[in-house]
Amino acid sequence: MKSVFMVAEKPSLAQSLAKILSNGSMNSRKGMNGACSVHEFTGRFRGETMRMKMTSVCGHVMGCDFVGKYNNWDKVDPVELFTAPIQKKEANEKLRMPAFLAKEASGAEYLVLWLDCDKEGENICFEVIECVENVMTRVAGQQVFRAKFSAITDQEIKGAFNNLGAPNKNESLSVDARQELDLRIGCAFTRYQTKFFQGKYGDLDSTLISYGPCQTPTLGFCVERHDKIQSFKPEAYWVVSTQVQLPDGKSMKLDWERVRVFDKEVAQMFVNLIRSGDKACVLDTVQKKGEKTKPLALNTVEMLRVASSGLGLSPHHTMQIAERLYIQGYISYPRTETNNYPDSFDLKGTLRQQQDHPNWGSFVRKLLQEGMKQPKKGQDAGDHPPITPMRCARESDLEGDSWRLYDYITRHFIATLSPNCYYLQTTVFFEIGSEQFSCTGKVLQDPGFTEIMPWLALGEDEEIPTLKKNTMLDVEEVKLIDRQTSPPDYLSESELITLMEKHGIGTDASIPVHINNICERNYVSIIPGRKLQPTNLGIVLVHGYQKIDSDLVLPTMRSAVEQQLNMIAMGQANFYEVKQHAIDIFHLKFRYFVQNIPAMDELFEVTFSSLADAGRPISRCGKCRRFMKLVEAKPARLHCSICDSTYSLPQNGNIKLYKELKCPLDEFELLLWTTGAKGKSYPLCPYCYNNPPFKDMRKGMGCNECSHPTCPHAFSQNGVSECVECERGILVLDPTSAPKWRMCCNK
DNA sequence: GCAAGGTC
């Protein structure tokens, strides 16, 4: 019997697809890599009964990187990265994906690709083909097919299977081009900046001064807001505050139709005008029905916004929690752009799962009884259905933030099927001495969905009386109040997400990563209310780009590049030409940036202190015998101001002088690195650590004798260690025993 | 030690 090999983008999808295509009768087993499952069944394909095998990858099979020596920061000038050779390598070596695919596809006559229907998915199609084409059985005619589907429903999937096409090479090539561009540009700028500024300053407090086409514009948004705050000039303005007495004797404040004026004399004139009319005359009373609409079905970015502003959770943390809730079966797939339920979605069934819930069961039962409402019509991006609860969980089933996120997702889902919130709005218009005023009040009529999302509820009822036209009221007060305009606040995380989405910076899956990056690199700090306040480092970076080449930080840069790449995807432009053109432009931009780096450096100079001024003396240099300074700001390193040399150190630990012992090889004083909780420690020579003394020694090399992490031989990465025998001598690696190093005592 | 994009 012939066989068909099928591949989805992720394990969960392979399972759903196999279930549909096999009508629920399949044999499943774990694949050899432990991550992917294989589902087998028999079915009909091209008029024949065949063996079907459905499995998946885990996202991209391959990634790209520079070849060998170009990964060495010390041996390669970053400008070479624009022309350096690039290779594809396994995205995750542990998964052994190419081997797994080749093994499972072996002998199959047909390949059906069920990867996500976007450009990345198209690119993964060709990665899969590359892995399996040589192990398939050759038969006449088309052997490789592409399924195009827009929802994971019976009808859609079976329809796609009966109407297969071919993978789209152009779309895949546009992804190849993007990967290569991002790699060359990002790495060239990052390495250059990092080396330049870390070689000069001691208090940057970031292990990396990175640049990227997504992270840098993301930082740009935060600094833009900071600049607005800094350059804000408060302006004085005046408002007229008036109060009238109602027929029942109560007082009521009125809103001035002019709201405010920016000229004191004009304001005073209005006050005089108003005071000249002793009564307030009712011009009209208008009543209208107001409506607060329920939310759209939940997609990823909306979830991230709400989690940040409402739950105080970072996007990165939110995705980690959502991922876990998904794996445990509590919610649907959490990465989706779609905020419209597909027609086949079992809304009622999903709602019924929640009807016995202690927190919202009674609301759900009432909703089911009175008839749930149609959800609002949103956008279908063709990826996954909106994020919804998949089974009922109580507060005791989940912990802390997991519960809070599940609680939100479920309330949001219920709200999308609830009625809108209705209220009655009454506005009374007044005239006092030819100036107009009004007063508005809202009275709740039906809370609708706000009952399940109480934080969106209308405020307290503000009932105001309906007053007949021409009613005259006493004016109790006419006051001139002086105020000042206030600066905007720092950019909130949820505003940032909106800006990124609007400018096409990052994707639903990568937006949290970019935001996390600019926090971890210490370009911004999170202040209360999850607002992003740029640090000095973040500010001088962005201002520096603006001085040298503002394109580098412009939010339009990413979309401009993507537009070019879309030409490749649509077959309207040649892959090599477009890619080379973009590389050439950024190559020039890079050279220009390097030439003009003093413009950015001027900003660094006034903000940061030089390496020579930073740090505290700790140990003697083996060359000049003077004390070197330990620079403790990230990345921790040693600096000898006499030799003007910097020596990197192991990170994330404490560095102390080690018994004032000297390295027998180079006379540098030894240091002891210790790390907190587990109390790991080892002595090292700062020179040997950076310049391995023996051939074939690499940084971070473990024990080459027994590879045990606590074995004293593990110190071999530094070339020296305390002698385990006499505890007095120093062990050095014996190069005569290469390639198996051996320690020998110098005493 | 670099980017951004998939996903676990």
Q: Does any strand B atom come closer than 7 Å to the Cβ of A327?
A: yes
Closest nucleotide to residue A74 (Cα to C1')?
Answer: B1
Q: What is the pLDDT of residue A710?
A: 31
Closest nucleotide to residue A187 (Cα to C1')?
Answer: B2
Does a structural domain hold residue A503? yes
Tokens of A266: 């004009």
A578 CA to B8 C1' in angstroms comes to: 34
Q: What is the pLDDT of residue A380?
A: 87
- pLDDT (average), residues A527-546: 97
Give residue A354's domain range: 300-416
Q: Report the number of secondary-structure helices (H) and strands (E) in chain A.
A: 19, 27
A178 CA to B4 C1' in angstroms comes to: 8
Residues 6+ apart with CB under 8 A from A570: A170
Tokens of A515: 């935001």
Closest nucleotide to residue A64 (Cα to C1')?
Answer: B3
Cβ A65 vs Cβ A87: under 8 Å: yes
Does a structural domain hold residue A489? no
Q: Which of A292-301, A470-479, A610-619 has the lowest mean pLDDT?
A: A610-619
Q: Does pLDDT of A87 surpass 80?
A: yes
Pair A16, A155 in one domain: yes
Q: Does any strand B atom come closer than 7 Å to the Cβ of A116?
A: yes
Q: What is the pLDDT of residue A257?
A: 94
A65 CA to B8 C1' in angstroms comes to: 22
Does a structural domain hold residue A89? no
Q: Please report, for residues A239, A295, A417, A645, the alpha-carbon distance to residue A364 in angstroms, rounded to integers and kept in the order given.
A: 47, 17, 10, 69
Provide the angle, in degrees to the nearest 10, between the axes of the packed helices A493-502 and A511-520: 130
Of A47, A18, A7, which Cα lies nearest the Cα of A162? A47
**Average per-residue pLDDT for chain A:** 89
- pLDDT (average), residues A231-250: 94
* Residue A662, amino acid: K
Residue predicted with more confidence, A517 or A668: A517
A384 CA to B8 C1' in angstroms comes to: 18
Pair A289, A427 in one domain: yes
- pLDDT (average), residues A385-393: 94
Does a structural domain hold residue A50? yes
Does a structural domain hold residue A77? no
Q: Does any strand B atom come closer than 7 Å to the Cβ of A95?
A: yes
Q: Does any strand B atom come closer than 7 Å to the Cβ of A717?
A: no
Q: Does any strand B atom come closer than 7 Å to the Cβ of A562?
A: no
State the Cα–Cα distance between residues A289 and A246, nearest whole angstrom.
24
Q: What percent of chain A stands above pLDDT 90? A: 71
State the Cα–Cα distance between residues A552 and A590, nearest whole angstrom.
10
A340 CA to B2 C1' in angstroms comes to: 39
Which amino acids of A are annotated catalytic?
333
Pair A556, A502 in one domain: yes
- pLDDT (average), residues A536-560: 95
Q: State the pLDDT confidence band at A316, using cuts at 50, 70 and 90.
A: very high
Q: Model confidence over A405-445: pLDDT tens digits?
A: 999 999 999 999 999 999 999 999 999 988 999 999 999 99
A507 CA to B5 C1' in angstroms comes to: 9
Q: Is A709 strand, coil or helix?
A: coil
Pair A119, A247 in one domain: no
Q: What is the pLDDT of residue A641?
A: 76
State the Cα–Cα distance between residues A527 and A15, nearest whole angstrom.
43
Q: Whole-model pTM?
A: 0.85
Q: Does any strand B atom come closer than 7 Å to the Cβ of A345?
A: no
Provide the angle, in degrees to the nearest 10, between the axes of the packed helices A536-548 and A597-607: 150
Last residue of a domain, one of A416, A443, A464: A416
Pair A11, A138 in one domain: yes
Last residue of a domain, one of A365, A383, A416: A416
Does a structural domain hold residue A76? no
> Prior bond to A213 cis, omega within 30?
no
Residue nearest to nucleotide B1 (CA to C1'): A208
Q: Does any strand B atom come closer than 7 Å to the Cβ of A514?
A: yes
Q: Does pLDDT of A702 surpass 60?
A: no
Q: Model confidence over A318-362: pLDDT tens digits?
A: 999 999 998 888 999 999 999 999 988 999 999 999 999 999 999
Does a structural domain hold residue A83? no
Pair A654, A734 in one domain: yes
Closest nucleotide to residue A651 (Cα to C1')?
Answer: B1
Pair A289, A348 in one domain: no
Q: What is the pLDDT of residue A633?
A: 76
Q: State the pLDDT confidence band at A637, using cuts at 50, 70 and 90.
A: confident
Of A660, A655, A605, which Cα lies nearest the Cα of A632? A655
Cβ A514 vs Cβ A532: under 8 Å: no
Last residue of a domain, one of A361, A392, A416: A416
Q: Is A54 strand, coil or helix?
A: strand
Q: Does pLDDT of A598 surpass 50?
A: yes
Q: Does any strand B atom come closer than 7 Å to the Cβ of A73?
A: yes
Closest nucleotide to residue A81 (Cα to C1')?
Answer: B2
Pair A244, A341 in one domain: no
A127 CA to B2 C1' in angstroms comes to: 24
Q: What percent of chain A stands above pLDDT 70? A: 92
Closest nucleotide to residue A56 (Cα to C1')?
Answer: B7
Q: Does pLDDT of A114 surpass 70?
A: yes
A461 CA to B1 C1' in angstroms comes to: 59
Q: What is the pLDDT of residue A721?
A: 58
Calculate the CA dihedral of residues A80, A83, A88, A94 and round it to 10 degrees. Answer: 10
Q: Does any strand B atom come closer than 7 Å to the Cβ of A60?
A: yes
Q: State the pLDDT confidence band at A170, using cuts at 50, 70 and 90.
A: very high
State the Cα–Cα distance between residues A731 and A708, nearest whole angstrom.
17
Calculate the CA dihedral of residues A32, A38, A42, A46 and round it to 10 degrees. Answer: -100
CATH number at residue A193: 1.10.460.10
Q: Is A453 strand, coil or helix?
A: coil
State the Cα–Cα distance between residues A294 and A457, nearest whole angstrom.
11
Pair A227, A306 in one domain: no
Sign of CA dihedral A134, A138, A141, A144: negative
Q: Does any strand B atom come closer than 7 Å to the Cβ of A195?
A: yes
Q: How many other CB atoms sit within 10 Å of the CB of residue A339?
A: 24
Structure letter (DSSP) for residue A165: B
State the Cα–Cα distance between residues A152 and A19, nearest whole angstrom.
11
A35 CA to B7 C1' in angstroms comes to: 11
Does a structural domain hold residue A736? yes
Q: State the pLDDT confidence band at A708, using cuts at 50, 70 and 90.
A: very low
Q: Does pLDDT of A572 surpass 60?
A: yes
Q: Does any strand B atom come closer than 7 Å to the Cβ of A338?
A: no
Pair A118, A163 in one domain: yes
Q: Model confidence over A716-744: pLDDT tens digits?
A: 445 555 555 555 555 555 445 443 344 45
Q: What is the pLDDT of residue A667?
A: 82
Pair A200, A227 in one domain: yes
For the segment 449-508 of chain A, residues whose CB is within 7 A of strand B: 506-507
CATH number at residue A282: 2.70.20.10
Q: What is the pLDDT of residue A747?
A: 57
Q: What is the pLDDT of residue A392?
A: 95
Q: Does any strand B atom come closer than 7 Å to the Cβ of A531?
A: no
Q: Which nucleotides of strand B lie within 7 A of protein CB?
A: 1-8
- pLDDT (average), residues A698-711: 38
Q: Does any strand B atom come closer than 7 Å to the Cβ of A207?
A: yes
CATH number at residue A162: 3.40.50.140
Query: How many domains does one find in chain A?
Result: 5
Q: Does pLDDT of A457 surpass 70?
A: yes
- pLDDT (average), residues A500-527: 96
CATH number at residue A407: 1.10.290.10
Closest nucleotide to residue A210 (Cα to C1')?
Answer: B2
Q: How many other CB atoms sit within 10 Å of the CB of residue A268?
A: 14
Pair A638, A710 in one domain: yes
Q: State the pLDDT confidence band at A701, using cuts at 50, 70 and 90.
A: very low
State the Cα–Cα distance between residues A442 and A436, nearest whole angstrom.
21
Q: What is the pLDDT of residue A699?
A: 41
